[in-house]
Amino acid sequence: MMKKQLVNLSLAAACLMAVGCSVSNEGADYEALMGYDTYYDENVMLPTGSGDQFSEFADNPFVKTSQQNVSTFSVDADGASYAILRRYLNEGRDVNPSSVHIEELLNYFTFDYASPTGNHTVAINAEVGECPWNPQHRLLRLGIKGKELTKKETPRANFVFLVDVSGSMAVKDKLDLLKSGLKTMLSQMNPDDRISLITYSGEVKKLLESTQVREEHKIVAAINKLNANGYTNGGEALKMAYEEAIANYDPKCNNRIILGTDGDFNFGITSTSALTEMVEGYAKKGIYLTCLGFGTGNLNDEMMESISNHGNGTYHYIDSEEEMMKVFVHERERFVSVANDAKCQVTFDSKLISEYRLIGYENRMMSNDDFKDDKKDAGEIGAGQTITALYELVLSNDLDGKVGKTFVTFDFRYKKSLDAESFPLQKTLEVEHIFNKNGRSHDFYFAAGVAAYGMVLRHSPYKGDATIDMAQKLVSGNLGSDPHGYRAKLLELMDKAK
């Protein structure tokens, strides 16, 4: 489908020069025309999202347990992939298979997992059942839940809002939506929380010094001043935001940068590797990074995910007021990390399981030796957040008489704070769970439906008999607790994907 779209002005400049037109070298207009910015032209028709960047990856393959019976990965608490595909489908566009991360589709939703007990801030669970798209195989579901925090337990926030005000943000579903989200979040915060506001385009500005939320009028006035123009010097802006966070750092606080942008950095530090290296250094000083993506046309998904991952944070995509409410209001407690450097290690009995395949988490795989190494960075889990992982299993032919034998051991490690030692948790399942005829949980079948849907959208070579119809049946019969209707709305997206 062709749609009104953002147009890169460097292309416009090249076209003008090709026909002998001159280009004025006057201020920001010239800088924009030479490729530093984009503008919104309702009369120009281009394929919507044509400039969005996603890293290509291959699905995890089946692994023979005789060759490697241990699988290790970092948790992924992002949910951006689901919101991006929703944007594409709602606009009648094909979904780029590289934009579909099945772990992010799963972790967009909250599952009904048991809460932690005792001194732990995380609880784990597991169950196994028949694999819907390949009935000869089994599907293993692993679940993780972060502790929910009371108001008294929630640490004071020390946030730096880092806002992209380059020219391409001058669209209703970008800067206006972001401003609305910031003000909504502000209304949910405590009076003693603190906010700084830094903007970037052609130059980087500190628009608001660290200010207590009790001075809400002052913060709102600063947000209202946000206007988009100029090019995108995001690298220097990140540096200033981190320095601002460090200047106001409090070890008892949730010290976090919240970056809102429509995508790529096109001036100053621009390479993903250089940006990743920079945020890693600051993350070691106790500063978390949350990335919020807006709009289409120049979204650099790979960069956003990479810097949030290495910056001890999460990456969300905001495509609507509804998603803004989800991130800033309904799930705002997830800005507080209750589990740091969270890692999973799954060990299969090679005599009982012949092959396994981790569904998703392709860019979160870790060396088995990294699991117990507390110096190795991994993912963070927010308060009340649930994480889900699925393995497709091929059974061995030697299961008779193996009742009571453990076929899988699920080990999990996490830190309560970034500089602490990790805590271990463990869950095992025995052979009898494989053949248990009792029904599985709603969460098991819902997760299977989400995974089937993701594999169809990815054109996965491992999708077996999976279809959108199958995914709909699995989801529709297992909506479970759905207070905000997110699961029910997934069914509408599945219709659109058809």
pLDDT for 92-105, tens place per residue? 999 999 999 999 99
Integer Cα distance of 202 and 7 in angstroms: 19
Is a pLDDT exceeding 70 seen at residue 15? no
Three-state SS string across 276-305, please? Answer: HHHHHHHHCCCCEEEEEEECCCCCEHHHHH
**pLDDT at residue 222, rounded to an integer:** 97
**pLDDT at residue 119, rounded to an integer:** 94
**pLDDT at residue 407, rounded to an integer:** 97
Mean pLDDT of 213-240: 89
Strands of 283-421 (E only): list them. Answer: 288-294, 315-318, 337-348, 353-359, 379-382, 386-395, 406-415
Integer Cα distance of 201 and 228 in angstroms: 8
Mean pLDDT of 443-458: 98
Phi, psi of 424 (to 5 degrees): -100, 145
**pLDDT at residue 234, rounded to an integer:** 73
Q: Which residue would you say has higher pLDDT here, 379 or 29?
A: 379
Question: Three-class SS of residue 90?
Answer: helix
Is a pLDDT exceeding 80 seen at residue 492? yes
The answer to whether 99 touches 81, Cβ cutoff 8 Å, is: yes
| Share of residues in the chain with pLDDT > 70 (%) | 88
Structure tokens at 443: 């969460």
Question: pLDDT tens digit string along 137-156?
Answer: 999 999 999 999 998 999 99
The pLDDT-based confidence of 268 (bands split at 50, 70, 90) is low
Residue 428 host element (H or E):
strand 423-430
Is a pLDDT exceeding 60 seen at residue 464? yes
Mean pLDDT of 58-79: 97
Q: Looking at beta carbons, which pairs linking 288-291 to residues 24 or more positions away fall under 8 Å?
A: 288/254, 288/255, 288/256, 288/257, 288/312, 288/313, 288/337, 288/380, 289/256, 289/257, 289/259, 289/313, 290/256, 290/257, 290/258, 290/259, 290/314, 290/315, 290/316, 290/335, 291/259, 291/261, 291/315, 291/316
**pLDDT at residue 50, rounded to an integer:** 57
| Share of residues in the chain with pLDDT > 90 (%) | 76
DSSP summary character for residue 166 = S
Question: Three-class SS of residue 412?
Answer: strand
Sequence-distant (6+) residues with CB within 8 A of 426 are 409, 410, 411, 412
- The chain-wide mean pLDDT, for the chain, equals 88
Question: pLDDT tens digit string along 375-399?
Answer: 999 999 999 999 999 999 999 988 8
User: Tokens 């297992």 correspond to what residue?
Assistant: 478
**pLDDT at residue 168, rounded to an integer:** 87
**pLDDT at residue 128, rounded to an integer:** 98
Please state which of the ranges 7-11, 368-372, 375-379, 384-388 shows the lowest mean pLDDT.
Answer: 7-11
